[in-house]
A and B are shown apart, each in its own frame.
Chain A
Amino acid sequence: MEVDVRDDLLYTKEHEWVSIADDGIATAGITDYAQTSLGDITYVELPMLEGEVEQFEQLASIESVKAASDVYAPLSGKIVEVNADLETDPDLLNKSCYELGWLAKIEISSDEEISKLMSADEYRSYLDNIE
């Protein structure tokens, strides 16, 4: 099955995506590869508003019918918004992981960390090597 990787996003090795708006607010979620591997997602534990997160440290956790997994923050910063729809409809992560299923918005604290993320092409070849 073809895995959906969006050109306009940045990626982590743990299969999170992030898009950074001009105002320095980053929106983070999990990739199509991640949601397919997890299977039907039954619960999402969202980060606390106003909380600080560190790059590659825990951001959220997801329970699926197969497993419970942590989601890591692609960038450091302060949580300014969480996707509360996921509390009632966790399957948005399965249905629409890049749009309706976003997890949290982070006011990023440093631009330098962006270089540690993968471009869409880099993530595609990273996925090829996994499979």
Chain B
Amino acid sequence: MLSVIGVTDISDLFKDIQPHHAPRSFDLPDGKSEFEVVEYLRGLAKKNAADLTLFVGGGYYDHYIPAVVPAMTSRGEFLTAYTPYQPECSQGTLQALYEYQSNICALTGMDASNASLYDGGTALYEAMMMAIRTTGRDRIVMDGGVSPIFRKMIRSYTDNLNIQFVEVEPSHGQSDRKRISRALDKNTAAMILQNPNFFGAIDDHSDIVQEAHEAGVLVIQSVYPIALGMLKPPGEIGVDIVTGEGQSLGLPLSFGGPYLGFMAVRKKLIRKMPGRIVGETVDTRGRRCFVNTLQAREQHIRREKATSNICTNVALCAVQATVYMSLLGRKGLQELAQLNLDKAEYMKGQLESVEGVEVKQGSPTFNEFTVALSVDAVEVISRMIDHGFAAGFPLSRYYPGMKNYMTIAVTEKRTKDEIDGYIHALKMVLAELKVSV
């Protein structure tokens, strides 16, 4: 076969790979039995810090997942290797995705949702590309309060595209109005915001949304769906494209996912939206049914001019989120949001009594907020692990100037005992560190 394709040795096929990138050897170890493999993997799994009490957020949150959610989602009709879309035989899947879209629209106050994207970061990237296609402009103004994880993802996607980025540093943890409005011009395709922002601050962006619209700029807002149980929906703020990470809607925390990206838009933008869309229609006998719709946007029809090269969604995760949202309902989501807020506020109050901790004030927060410590936050967090707590997210990981800062997230799962235990442990850790300085 090698001589047919014109090479003499198998290594010729790999000669384009630089030697330092090539594997040192292809001598793989002998195969193992199932039992050995399971033992090996179990050993690796033990390295996970699974028993810590989580106060870490940063866009991914430790919410309770009711047993009915995995029970429904793992039914064989949903749990398939590849999402079936043929309307003749997949009405159940299509209806579930249609319900998902309806729920996302209700939650965000927008007109239309797609059937999901990979995760919050890719959804934000897709929204940005959508704005560029729609406006024919190539400049992006991004609030520095947008998750640095998402910003990094967007940058790596667009490294080789001709897109001009303006990132506006937040001022006192909030969107810097003056600098954002100075940055908006007639070449700007989109203004990207996040609410609550990465520091936890809640912001009603209505004023800058209006300014952006006057400049013909589309507004993209990344949101935290649980917070929408009590915040003003993006649709009311005037946002054009809403995206977000849907992990908090009934999906377990896991390193790398699979998570859920959601996206919802105003009606005028629906044909520019990437991803699948399920629509309601009637069959030849007039019965209500569901089909993939507006497929002319997608790559199997539009080829290189498609709205996106993503036709895939994360259907199973979307179904899981649908079960979760349906179970909670409008009232349940409101109560859940209130519970998160109340617990976070309780914790803030307790932290204020701890010497060496300053809770950053200035803007309202939801279930996550920023604190300044008297010492390096990474040091505090690593010592708190010994007390059984994942104490927070060290902001220095993405903001080099914020060595002593961390964010703390308090979900409905955190009990008063856990919060009080955290405060007690934190006092000890800070005292230890003070002595060692």
Where the two chains meet, the residues of A that have a C-beta atom closer than 8 Å to any C-beta of B are: 43, 45, 48, 51, 61, 63, 67-68, 70
Scan residues 293-339 of chain B and give those whose CB is less than 8 A from a CB of chain A. 296-297, 301-302, 305
12 contacts between A and B (CB under 8 A): A43-B271, A43-B296, A45-B271, A48-B136, A51-B136, A61-B305, A63-B296, A67-B296, A67-B301, A68-B297, A68-B302, A70-B305
Chain A nearest CB from B400 CB (Å) reads 41
Residue picked from B136, B296, B301, most chain A C-beta under 10 Å: B296
CA distance A51 to B137 in the complex (A): 12
Return chain A residues, CB-CB under 8 Å to B302.
Answer: 68
CB contact between B301 and one of A48, A51, A68 (< 8 Å): that residue: A68
Say whether A68 contacts B136, CB under 8 Å: no
Where the two chains meet, the residues of B that have a C-beta atom closer than 8 Å to any C-beta of A are: 136, 271, 296-297, 301-302, 305
CA distance A18 to B301 in the complex (A): 28
Residue picked from A51, A61, A68, most chain B C-beta under 10 Å: A68
Return chain A residues, CB-CB under 8 Å to B271.
Answer: 43, 45
Query: Looking across the interface, which residue of chain A has its beta carbon closest to that of B295?
Result: A68
Query: Looking across the interface, which residue of chain A has its beta carbon closest to that of B272?
Result: A45
CA distance A48 to B302 in the complex (A): 20
CA distance A9 to B137 in the complex (A): 34
Query: Looking across the interface, which residue of chain A has its beta carbon closest to that of B306?
Result: A68
Return chain B residues, CB-CB under 8 Å to A45.
Answer: 271
Chain B nearest CB from A89 CB (Å) reads 16
Residue picked from A43, A61, A63, A67, most chain B C-beta under 10 Å: A63
Query: Looking across the interface, which residue of chain A has its beta carbon closest to that of B301?
Result: A68
New A-B contacts (11) at CB < 8 Å, excluding given A43-B271, A43-B296, A63-B296: A45-B271, A48-B136, A51-B136, A61-B305, A67-B296, A67-B301, A68-B296, A68-B297, A68-B301, A68-B302, A70-B305
Return chain B residues, CB-CB under 8 Å to A68.
Answer: 296-297, 301-302
CA distance A45 to B133 in the complex (A): 12
CA distance A67 to B300 in the complex (A): 11
CA distance A63 to B298 in the complex (A): 12
Return chain B residues, CB-CB under 8 Å to A63.
Answer: 296
CA distance A51 to B296 in the complex (A): 24
Chain A nearest CB from B112 CB (Å) reads 14
Return chain B residues, CB-CB under 8 Å to A70.
Answer: 305
CA distance A61 to B301 in the complex (A): 13
CA distance A68 to B332 in the complex (A): 43
CA distance A98 to B301 in the complex (A): 27
Return chain A residues, CB-CB under 8 Å to B297.
Answer: 68
Query: Looking across the interface, which residue of chain B has its beta carbon closest to that of A63?
Result: B296
CA distance A63 to B305 in the complex (A): 13
Return chain A residues, CB-CB under 8 Å to B296.
Answer: 43, 63, 67-68
CA distance A51 to B135 in the complex (A): 11
CA distance A63 to B295 in the complex (A): 10
Chain A nearest CB from B114 CB (Å) reads 17
Query: Looking across the interface, which residue of chain A has its beta carbon closest to that of B135?
Result: A48
Return chain A residues, CB-CB under 8 Å to B305.
Answer: 61, 70
Query: Looking across the interface, which residue of chain B has its beta carbon closest to that of A61?
Result: B305
Complex A-B, nearest 6 residue pairs according to Cβ-Cβ distance, in ascending order: A68-B296, A63-B296, A68-B302, A48-B136, A68-B301, A43-B271
CA distance A77 to B49 in the complex (A): 64
Return chain B residues, CB-CB under 8 Å to A67.
Answer: 296, 301
Chain B nearest CB from A20 CB (Å) reads 26
CA distance A33 to B297 in the complex (A): 24
Query: Looking across the interface, which residue of chain B has its beta carbon closest to that of A47?
Result: B136
CA distance A63 to B301 in the complex (A): 10
